[in-house]
Amino acid sequence: MAVYNYDVVVLGSGPAGEGAAMNAAKAGRKVAVVDNRPLVGGNCTHLGTIPSKALRHSVRQIMQFNTNPMFRQIGEPRWFSFPDVLKSAEKVIAKQVTSRTGYYARNRIDTYFGTASFADDQTVEVVCLNGVVEKLVAKQIVIATGSRPYRPADVDFRHPRIYDSDTILSLGHTPRRLIIYGAGVIGCEYASIFSGLGVLVDLIDNREQLLSFLDSEISDALSYHLRNNNVLIRHNEEYERIEGVENGVVLHLKSGKKIKADALLWCNGRTGNTDQLGLENIGIAVNSRGQIQVDEYYRTEVSNIYAAGDVIGWPSLASAAADQGRSAAGSIVDNGSWRFVDDVPTGIYTIPEISSIGKTERELTQAKVPYEVGKAFFKGMARAQISVEPVGMLKILFHRETLEVLGVHCFGYQASEIVHIGQAIMNQKGEANSIKYFINTTFNYPTMAEAYRVAAFDGLNRLF
């Protein structure tokens, strides 16, 4: 068994692991990264964010082709299979792996591929993919092993028609009807993807409203457009049992309903990847979902061991994970790069997409904050008309007395890009955070960004 010494060892090469490794290396530390795949990128690149968003983009292009009258001059609408569309995602994954492999090489970061576990609080043993065992000794260790779909014991995921959000990427056919159990972010995104391919989707939600953490108006808009695209949403339902049959799946609900489909996609929660780390050897406990508790510096209960990304829970977003990892390393190297990551925009890649930051109307009303609303509907925006993307709106919530921007909520074309303009203004100090910025600034025309100007005038016109 060979022994190698490092300043920092990072477990996981997803966004959190990469962020931690790069920041530590830039600060002059000797760094190693361990991943249980033969390629870097983590679940984000191989199973989660990248493939699902690449799938969504391809499906959206298909939907545009099939619904835009201009393309009827070329021919009739076309049908594409799920495996065909998946090929575009595979190309993006390969490009991402190539890019990220280059980052580690340029920064002289050693990579080990295998299963890591703690021997003690400064020693990690790696069983490499070729069977060789390596021992890595480090002053500080960052756990960034990510998460995987939660699998309840009473659901038979060995059945060929029952999938989770990881295994769905191996689906070799296009089902005519699909049950998606769980209407969180992942469930809603896949409902958009499959319905866009012409699949009849039953979306089972155990709550009374889709994505209830969103602004209610945005949530209602998502529900409408999913239903308009042949997604049947069933609220306040829970499964009794899931029965895999020869030609499909039967979902038995506690309400007494039975639903049959060609396949079932389980999208109900995630579990931290901590069960193989040997955390019991170093005295770190995890909660019922395998997640590790950290302080504001991303330090665990063992002072030289840090954790970041999905393995610590909220907000479980690739964007936040990268910043959390960078901040964890910032705590280690003390180079001024630490911050507690709580300014996180929500990006939901349904069709149309959703993004928001700040307070919702419900939260402001409950807090008795005197706010006003400014809206811009995309159907009236020149860029949206040119792009044939009329669905959606930008909504700005601002304090009616100080004019401070309190929340930005966007639904529709390029929502995840548009929200960052509002985020930038909300992060300004004092009077610089003002809705007046949007009317005193010249926006390119035509753009989607000028929706801020339209929404600002709409909101200010409500004041008296």
Q: Is 290 annotated as a binding residue?
A: no
Residue 218 labelled as part of a binding site: no
Cα atoms in the Cβ-side hemisphere of radius 13 Å centred on 458? 16
CB 138 within 8 A of CB 32: yes
To the question of whether residue 422 is assigned a binding role by annotation, the answer is no
> Is 336 annotated among the ligand-binding residues?
no
Residue 320 known to bind ligand: no
Question: Is 236 annotated as belonging to a binding site?
Answer: no
Annotated binding residue at 43?
Answer: yes
CB atoms closer than 10 angstroms to residue 175:
22
Residue 185 is assigned to a ligand binding site: yes
Which among 392, 370, 373 is positioned nearest to 381, based on CA atoms? Answer: 392
CA dist 457 and 117 (Å) reads 57
Nearest residue to 88 (alpha-carbon basis) of 132, 44, 53, 134: 53
Angle between helices 49-67 and 185-196 in degrees, nearest 10: 40
Asked whether residue 94 is marked as a ligand-binding residue, the answer is no
Residue 142 marked ligand-binding: no
Strands in 346-348's sheet, in edge-to-edge order, are 346-348, 354-358, 405-412, 392-399, 371-377
DSSP string, 432-459: GS-GGGGTSSPPPSS-STTHHHHHHHHH
- Nearest alpha-carbon partner for 10 in 147, 141, 119, 145: 141
37 is in an annotated binding site: yes
β-strand partners of 271: 148
Residue 461 assigned as binding residue: no
284 CB-near residues (< 8 Å, 6+ apart): 292, 300, 301, 302, 305
d(CA 94, CA 104): 16
174 belongs to an annotated ligand binding site: no
Question: Is 360 labelled as part of a ligand binding site?
Answer: no
* Three-state DSSP class for residue 313: coil
Q: What is the CA radius of gyration of the chain?
A: 24
Greatest extent of the chain over all pairs of C-alpha atoms, in Å:
76
Q: Is 59 labeled as ligand-binding?
A: no
Please check if 187 is assigned to a binding site.
yes
Residue positions counted in the chain: 464
- 184 marked as part of a ligand binding site: yes
Give the residue among 403, 408, 453, 390 at the shortest CA–CA distance from 214. 408
278 is in an annotated binding site: no
**182 annotated as ligand-binding:** yes
Ligand-binding annotation for 183, yes or no, is: yes
Q: Please enumerate, by residue number, every residue annotated as part of a binding site.
A: 35-44, 53, 145-147, 182-189, 269, 310
Q: Please enumerate, by residue number, every residue annotated as part of a binding site for FAD.
A: 35-44, 53, 145-147, 310
Q: Please enumerate, by residue number, every residue annotated as part of a binding site for NAD(+).
A: 182-189, 269
